[in-house]
Amino acid sequence: MNIQEFRERIKPEMTVVVGDKQVIVKEVVKFRLDDGDFYTKCFLNDNQVLADDLNGNIFIFAKEVKDSFDSSFPEKLEYDGREFKFLYTAHATAEETYGEELFKKGDSESFWDYKADDGRYLSLGITDSTKEKADFYGEVISTDKISLME
């Protein structure tokens, strides 16, 4: 499923098929990046998220993790026996929210994203208002591995 179609159709309580796994959408949030771009992040059952990346034409499917990373974010880091390379950092604000309000309109987050050579993905985040960490570990998913069940 292409990202534009995903953005138009995704709603809370939908079932999303990611590869061979089915997950339930609890909340859909449209985040506006400081540079004006935006992305859609879906908060799912089981502390998972699915976020789109229009520029990369991919999705990130990840689960929240508790780790020992502090707020210094190096160019490379080790996690789960893999070496991750820094991709980018960004700051985003929730512009629209639909569903359970796990993330509220106007809330914002900063994040530092990393990728391993095998496609695993690590996003280290901090929620601005609470200063709580919100770290996610998962993988890059191609658009052809995503579908919606209505």
Instruction: Write out pLDDT tens, residues 106-121.
Output: 999 999 999 999 999 9
Mean pLDDT of 14-30: 97
For the entire predicted model, the pTM comes to 0.93
Mean pLDDT of 93-105: 94
From the number of C-beta atoms within 10 Å of its C-beta (0-12, 13-18, 19+), residue 36 rates as exposed
What is the per-residue pLDDT across 43-70, written as a single tens digit (0 to 9) for each? Answer: 999 999 999 998 889 999 999 998 777 7
Q: Which two tokens stand for residue 10?
A: 């995704």
pLDDT at 18: 97
Between 147 and 72, the higher pLDDT residue: 147
Mean pLDDT of 14-36: 97
What is the per-residue pLDDT across 72-95, written as a single tens digit (0 to 9) for each? Answer: 788 999 999 999 999 999 999 999
Q: How far apart are CA 114 and CA 50, in angstroms?
A: 16
pLDDT at 38: 95
